[in-house]
């Protein structure tokens, strides 16, 4: 049976949206911020040879560099000021969250609530700056050593390129925070989402052109499109799947009134970690191979070129590491965002209990056992969604990174989260309207 909130959400219409001025401001702010981001992906780094850059990317777009280009909305292929995107921030978030589970002082900050979260976010920003400096300097050195990519190589080019790339990353970090606080949706996810969607028309045109040239048969082209639709439908189904644990509240007496016992559910999402594991896994694979791809594309040899070769799309090492990282981050991130002991304690404080299970420690063990089992299913689902398209792309020899499971998963989950936030704002607006009407009726009486 649908809850009252779900029934109210089903009755939302365009009339309610037209009256929600705050929601419209948030949507316009989000669109404006994303337009600024897209404009930045077309501003090239100073001192670059655009023809040589185009040739370089054409040689390596089917590898890790192509995946990085997808996340950056094409900024890597144009070597724009936003070429690093927010990948250093994602890597920094991984490191800080790992440290918060190992270092006692970080763990204590995590338990302090909002104040501790702000301090950890500040540490994440500092670490983002360090990682961005490292990556930007490595990219600048790689570009300078890649033949005729740079018009005037030298110390000034290295310093200016590093400052520009780091500045672009820190600006996107600030822009994402503004979207989260003043717009709609999670700012980090929205920036990556906008980059993927912006590249979709070009990727679709490339697919149709391959079909026109005969490189892809009509049957294979239809199979790819059907696969994309099936993956999207599967993602929507699995993202909405829940395991509901029955919670009973006993009868209670307040004053002279006796309240009947209530029944509710503790919903546990099948995929508690959301889209974080594929993004984290991709960012960790991209971090050590960004410079390696430049070295390989420019004819470089040695360890970096070997790394770029073995971590290319479709290679066994890439598939194995990708799957293992996804599974690891599914369990790791679920353990961070959901604490069974804390949940069991809250149920005990409010008098809630699960039928047949003692409150407290036994309840926490039961929740943890159920959460572990459904996380196994969630990790398997994410691994399948992310790896099957990779196998098909490799088997069909189609250099179209956008059809990968990671990009489709990001698009689906970000869209669902944004729609949920829009519904939440509309529900809040309708609730405020009902409260105002009630106050007016009371004043008239």
The DSSP line for 338-385 is --HHHHHHHHHHTT-B-TTS-TTHHHHHHHHHHHHHHHHHHHHHHHHH
* Residue written as token pair 């000034």: 156
Neighbours of 44 (CB within 10 A): 16
Measured CA to CA in angstroms, residue 234 lies from 203, 219, 237, 330, 416 at distances of: 22, 22, 5, 18, 13
Per the prediction, the chain carries an average pLDDT of: 78
Domains and CATH numbers, the chain: 22-215 (1.10.3370.10), 224-414 (1.10.3370.10)
Which helix (H) or strand (E) element contains residue 338? none
Strand bridging mode 262-269 / 242-249: antiparallel
Q: What is the DSSP letter of 261?
A: P
pLDDT attached to residue 3:
44
Pairing of strands 252-254, 242-249: unpaired
CA–CA separation, 420 vs 443, rounded Å? Answer: 35
Beta bridge partners of 267: 244
User: Which alpha helices (H) appear in 81-217, and where do they start and end?
Assistant: 87-102, 104-110, 114-144, 155-182, 187-213
Residue 223 confidence (pLDDT): 79
Q: Give the torsion sign (CA, 108, 287, 334, 368).
A: negative
d(CA 142, CA 138): 6
Distances (CA, A) of 358 to 1, 344, 351: 28, 10, 12
Distance (Å, whole) CA 279 – CA 335: 17
Nearest by Cα to 288 from 58, 124, 63, 64: 64
Let me know the angle formed at the C-alpha of 269 by 248 and 244, rounded to the nearest 5 degrees.
25
Q: What are phi and psi of 44, to 5 degrees?
A: -75, 160
Please tell me the distance from the alpha carbon of residue 281 to that of residue 256, in angstroms, as a whole number: 58
pLDDT for residue 2: 41
Provide the CA 393 distance to its chain's centre, in angstroms.
22
Evaluated on CA atoms 130, 135, 140, 141, the torsion sign reads: positive
Distance, CA of 103 to CA of 238 (rounded, Å): 34
Q: What is the pLDDT of residue 163?
A: 92
Residue 124: Cβ within 10 Å count? 20
The arithmetic mean of pLDDT across residues 40-45, rounded, is 86
Q: How far apart are CA 298 and CA 355, in angstroms?
A: 65
- What does the alpha-carbon distance between residue 203 and residue 364 come to, in Å, rounded to a whole number? 48
CB 400 within 8 Å of CB 203: yes
Q: What is the pLDDT of residues 279-325, one digit of tens each?
A: 778 767 765 665 555 555 455 556 666 666 676 666 778 888 888 99
Is-contact 183 371, C-beta < 8 A? no
Beta bridge pairs of residue 253: 258
Write down the pLDDT at residue 8.
43
Q: Tens digit of pLDDT for each residue in 341-397?
A: 888 888 888 778 888 888 888 888 888 899 999 999 999 999 988 887 777 766 666
Q: Which of 63-77, 102-116, 255-269, 277-291 has the lowest mean pLDDT?
A: 63-77
Question: Where is average pLDDT lowest: 29-33, 79-83, 197-201?
Answer: 197-201
- Give the pLDDT score at 260: 66
At residue 130, the pLDDT reads 92
SS (H, E, C) 43-58: CECCCECHHHHHHHHH
In this prediction the pTM is: 0.76
Buried b (16+ CB within 10 A) or exposed e, 299-311: ebeeebbebbeeb
Cβ pair 47, 84 in contact under 8 A: no
Distance from C-alpha of 230 to C-alpha of 236, rounded to nearest angstrom: 10
Per-residue DSSP letters for 71-106? HTTTTTTTTBTTTTTTHHHHHHHHHHHHHHHH-HHH
More confident of the two residues 227 and 63: 227
In angstroms, the CA 296 to CA 120 distance is 37
């Amino acid at each position: 049976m649908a809850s009252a909130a779900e029934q109210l959400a089903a009755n939302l219409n365009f009339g309610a949206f037209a009256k929600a001025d705050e929601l419209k401001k948030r949507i316009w702010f989000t669109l404006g911020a994303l337009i600024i981001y897209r404009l930045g992906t077309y501003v090239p780094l100073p001192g670059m040879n655009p023809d040589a850059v185009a040739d370089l990317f054409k040689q390596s777009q089917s590898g890790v560099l192509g995946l990085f280009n997808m996340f950056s909305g094409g900024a890597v292929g144009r070597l724009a000021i936003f070429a690093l995107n927010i990948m250093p921030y994602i890597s920094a978030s991984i490191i800080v969250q790992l440290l918060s589970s190992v270092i006692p002082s970080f763990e204590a900050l995590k338990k302090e609530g909002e104040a501790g979260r702000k301090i950890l976010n500040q540490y994440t920003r500092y670490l983002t700056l360090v990682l961005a400096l490292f990556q930007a300097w490595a990219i600048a050195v790689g570009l300078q050593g890649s033949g005729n990519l740079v018009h005037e190589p030298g110390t000034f080019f290295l310093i200016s390129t590093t400052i520009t790339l780091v500045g672009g990353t820190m600006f996107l970090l600030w822009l994402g925070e503004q979207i989260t606080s003043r717009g709609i949706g999670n700012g980090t996810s929205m920036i990556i989402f906008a980059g993927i969607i912006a590249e979709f028309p070009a990727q679709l045109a490339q697919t149709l052109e391959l079909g026109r040239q005969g490189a892809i048969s009509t049957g294979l082209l239809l199979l790819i499109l059907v696969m994309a639709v099936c993956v999207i439908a599967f993602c929507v189904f699995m993202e909405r799947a829940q395991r509901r644990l029955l919670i009973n509240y006993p009868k209670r007496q307040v004053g002279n009134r006796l309240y009947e016992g209530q029944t509710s559910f503790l919903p546990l999402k099948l995929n508690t970690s959301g889209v974080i594991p594929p993004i984290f896994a991709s960012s960790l694979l991209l971090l050590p191979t960004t410079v390696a791809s430049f070295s390989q594309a420019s004819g470089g040899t040695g360890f970096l070129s070997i790394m770029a070769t073995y971590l290319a799309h479709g290679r066994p090492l890439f598939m194995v590491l990708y799957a293992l990282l996804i599974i690891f981050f599914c369990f790791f991130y679920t353990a961070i965002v959901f604490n069974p002991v804390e949940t069991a304690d809250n149920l005990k404080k409010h008098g809630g209990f699960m039928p047949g299970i003692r409150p407290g420690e036994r309840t926490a063990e039961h929740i943890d056992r159920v959460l572990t089992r459904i996380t196994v299913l969630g990790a398997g689902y994410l691994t399948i969604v992310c790896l099957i398209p990779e196998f098909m792309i490799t088997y069909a020899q189609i250099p179209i990174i956008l059809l990968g499971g990671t990009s489709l998963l990001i698009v689906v989950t970000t869209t669902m989260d944004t729609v949920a936030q829009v519904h939440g704002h509309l529900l809040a607006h309708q609730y405020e309207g009902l409260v105002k009407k009630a106050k007016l009726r009371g004043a008239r009486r």
